[in-house]
Structure 1
Amino acid sequence: MSRGRPRGGPLVVVGDALLDIDVEGTAGRLCPDAPVPVVERTHEHRRAGGAGLAARLAAEITGRDVVLVTAVGDDEAGHRVGALLAAYADVVRLPMAGTTSCKTRIRAGGQTLVRIDEGDGRAADGPLPPRAAEALARAGAVLVSDYGRGVAAHSGIRRLLATLPDGVPVTWDPHPVGPRPPRGTRLVTPNHAEARRFAGGPAADESLPQAAADAAALVGRWRVTGVAVTLGEHGALLSMGGAAPHVIPAPIVAGPRADGCGAGDCFAAAAAHVLHDGGMVTEAVAEAVRRASAFVAAGGAASLGTPATPRDTAAVAADDVWDLVRRTRASGGRVVATGGCFDLLHAGHVGLLREARRLGDCLVVCVNSDASVRALKGPDRPLVPAADRVRVLAALECVDAVAVFDELTPVALLERLRPGIWVKGADYAGIDLAEAAVVRRHGGEVVLLPYLDGRSTSRLVARAREITSVLPGGDGQ
């Protein structure tokens, strides 16, 4: 199969986002009234799971803009998932019926002892929100991460996926109770047991010849380009319908930290990245095996954001914002917050943030999402996507946490945050701030701080266009 042409649009991940919680502890004794270990909790870590994990891994692997079309509930778990994802993706929400799915793993000594699942939420079918249709229309590639909770089965999603241009590669990570991939899908990535179930055979037969037969049958049944059956520590088998499948062995993975949780998401995200870049299906599967093996060796999903590995500061900020606020208040401290687009961070922003931090015991920065910035500033803004704006802000020493909001103003976010001080620049003097009422209703103050004169993103953009217009061939655009 020939190499395709890379497309410039974003990678769009479509699927069911979950909240994953790892409760880490130690287990050195058995419970006296039952033959089970007693786990003494040491710490708890939250991360976006399901399609949320796939979106995070895709953003880290590709370094590109990622859009996630998903459904989460208006509940505590849903709010946490949204905050966690803000550092990695532009999240487009579908309505949900029920509560956000939450999976809690109790772990000790690097091993999972039990998993507790909660939440009955499913994507509500109906008219597709305009932002979701717009995201798929702009897609350079699509990754469907189906966790069986209705997003991949949404009638509007199905219709748009079936009408994507031929040059937009679709990677489909299926779920046993989810829909089949649409005709023309570039790559489907079931594991061995899933392939057996889709092919209609007994689950007990997990031999390599059976995987090859199942993959070939599914290529013909689904009318897709390729089916890659993931084989765990043995790598993957790729069939494109021919007589001889491709087998890509995995490197040997060993060590106390090896954990397969999330390996399938990593595999699918890496494959989608290669296809987005115009790579062949065989190249995509080979890279997916390499990436997934390294991910498992590093500790799998449990390694993301734990102290044993480097943490993305934006992810830390998003994950800890509500815990940080609670801890600050519990210790008698004062929560300070400020907000804005922060498109092209400049000296005026930095000065304001430093002064704001000095007013209290923690500083939370509320950032307009990409959609919110477009609504406020016009279709050519933001210049910097939300994921990058969050990373830059969270890297500042004076910023303790970052939260992203989709509305035109942060009023809804401030209802939850309830800061003791809300800070804006002195350029807002005389303006009736929409958020002032909610801050004062919760006992907070609104404070205006001096702003460095002459510093603004609009001026930076205008100056850049002036310079461009005088360059040879420049047109000011």
Structure 2
Amino acid sequence: MKTGPLVVIGDTLLDVDIEGTAERLAPDAPVPVVDVEEEHRRPGGAGLAALLAARDGAQVVLVTALADDQQGRTLRSLLNGHLEVVRLPLHGSTVCKTRLRARGQTLARIDTGDGRAAGPVTAAVRAAVLAAGAVLVSDYGRGVAATLAGLLGEVAVPIVWDPHPKGTPPVPGCTLITPSEAEARQLCPLPYAGPDQAARHLTKALHAQAVAVTLGPHGAALAHAGGHHRRIPPPTFTQGHDVCGAGDRFAGAAALALRDRLPVEDAVAVGVGEASRFVEGGGAAAVRLQHHEMGDRPRTPLEVAELVRASGGRLIATGGCFDLLHAGHVSLLRRARALGDALIVCVNSDASAKRLKGPGRPVVGQRDRVEVLRALGCVDAVMVFDEDTPSAAIERLRPHVWVKGGDYSGRRLPEAAALRRVGAETVVLASVPGRSTTGLIAAMQEA
């Protein structure tokens, strides 16, 4: 049985570490002077949880809200190539958390940005969530979890919910809820009676199958809905200084274990072990990423489109069935790619092609058609669409140029309205004479 990807849902922040040395005080105030040596940027929040899970080799889809500002473009660049990102709109500016550090110690943190997620839930978001093998909700109180809470009621796979005091309550029936002890204190009624009692209380109050209250170097306190509870100790590692991101590592590792059908207790033990190793290895401060340019060939069409626009490039798109790929197709695609900086091919699904071309088509299934197109050096990404026209795909990609073959010359395009809405230019390229899928099929039938 094929296992779906881990879908991480939540708020993504930009984390910046400014590293240096502090050996003197400022002359005008009793504060340390930091001589900056280096600066590192990485995704934070749900973005960090997704990135760490992807580094385990898992297929990960991140559903998050990103703004089209410099910080948002930086986040997309950092995540590019590691995982697939499905975007919700963000109202306001991207949240950025900057830590000023000297010799491994954080001296101050500066937070900027006011962004909050906004709906609606698009077809792409819905499809991504419903295809999950497991779901991790990494709630940082910025609206993504609240926006998708209703959709999660339709999910029939393990759900791990990492809550936030300012976030939305976990949906009933979560497989595992993973508050820190500080979060558990805020979620439980006073007086606080310790993590074991808190885990038992929250299991009932939140209608969860299990709750694991994370305790840093002391592991986790786990309680099941049936009343059984126990402590999950950590492996014997020396405690690190930087615990930033340990909760994200714990939740992501536990979610992957549940996706792979481990029992909850074993999944929590995996999460505790991975979080301990993460802290021992330097925590979030040890995560080093590079910005990915177009030469790295991002995996998804939306990543390609966003990166081209962010870099000021010219995005080209075209569409068709591309059934029995032939020299005419290849010529069209090569010439289309030459018009700009990246080419995305929109391909009719099998159902769409059958409605368009009739019974017996397509000859080649969509999975094989996509793989053949992806293998062409002139194609940067392929997007499959199930509708009768590529209008919805065009509105998602927002290409600068839409290319059609010469057989459409002089005819009104079905996708014309969508092209007007996104402001795309239409370019018609002449077809190669004597090259067509219909002709190939007729020749094979005669043979």
Q: TM-score, normalised by structure 2?
A: 0.69
RMSD across aligned C-alpha pairs, in angstroms? 5.3
- The amino acid that maps onto 1:143 is L
Matched, 1:245 2:241: no
1:131 to 116, 124, 131: 124
2:196 to 207, 212, 216: 212
Q: Give per-residue Cα distances to partners, 1:101-150, cap 9 Å, x unaligned.
A: 1111112212221111111111124x321111112221221100000011
Residue 169 of structure 1 and its aligned partner are, at CA, apart by 0.4
Matches within 5 A, 1:81-160: 81-125=75-119, 127-154=120-147, 157-160=148-151
1:276 to 235, 259, 269: 259
- The amino acid that maps onto 1:142 is V
Structure 1 stretches of 4+ moved >3 Å: 335-341, 364-368, 372-386, 406-414, 428-432
Residue 247 of structure 1 and its aligned partner are, at CA, apart by 2.6
| CA gap 1:104/1:338 in 2 versus in 1, 3 angstroms | farther
- The amino acid that maps onto 2:189 is G
**Bigger radius of gyration, 1 or 2?**
2
Q: Distance in 2 between matches of 1:120 and 1:98?
A: 6
Matched, 1:162 2:153: yes
Aligned residues: 398
Q: Give per-residue Cα distances to partners, 1:351-389, cap 9 Å, x unaligned.
A: xxxxxxxxxxxxx86778xxx677899897677999xx9
| CA gap 1:410/1:193 in 2 versus in 1, 3 angstroms | closer
Q: Distance in 2 between matches of 1:218 and 1:431?
A: 62
Q: Is the 8 A contact 1:122 1:149 kept in 2?
A: yes
SS in 2 for 1:212: helix
Residue 192 of structure 1 and its aligned partner are, at CA, apart by 0.6
Q: Is the 8 A contact 1:62 1:273 kept in 2?
A: no
SS in 2 for 1:67: strand
1:32 to 27, 37, 41: 27
Question: Is there any run of 5+ residues in structure 1 with no aligned partner, and where?
Answer: 1-5, 204-208, 308-312, 327-334, 342-363, 397-401, 415-421, 433-437, 439-457, 459-477
Q: Distance in 2 between matches of 1:153 and 1:50?
A: 15
Counterpart residue number, 1:346: none
SS in 2 for 1:153: helix
Residue 8 of structure 1 and its aligned partner are, at CA, apart by 2.2
Percent of pairs with identical residues: 43
Counterpart residue number, 1:42: 38
Question: Is there any run of 5+ residues in structure 2 with no aligned partner, and where?
Answer: 291-295, 320-340, 354-364, 384-391, 410-422, 424-436, 438-447
Q: Is the 8 A contact 1:61 1:273 kept in 2?
A: no
Q: TM-score, normalised by structure 1?
A: 0.65
Q: Is the 8 A contact 1:56 1:89 kept in 2?
A: yes
Residue 61 of structure 1 and its aligned partner are, at CA, apart by 2.0
Residue 221 of structure 1 and its aligned partner are, at CA, apart by 1.1
SS in 2 for 1:158: helix
Counterpart residue number, 2:182: 193
- The amino acid that maps onto 1:190 is P
Residue 407 of structure 1 and its aligned partner are, at CA, apart by 6.7
Q: Give per-residue Cα distances to partners, 1:416-456, cap 9 Å, x unaligned.
A: xxxxxx9x9xxx99999xxxxx9xxxxxxxxxxxxxxxxxx
Q: Distance in 1 between matches of 2:280 and 2:175?
A: 28
Residue 197 of structure 1 and its aligned partner are, at CA, apart by 1.1
Q: Is the 8 A contact 1:97 1:122 kept in 2?
A: yes
Counterpart residue number, 2:275: 292
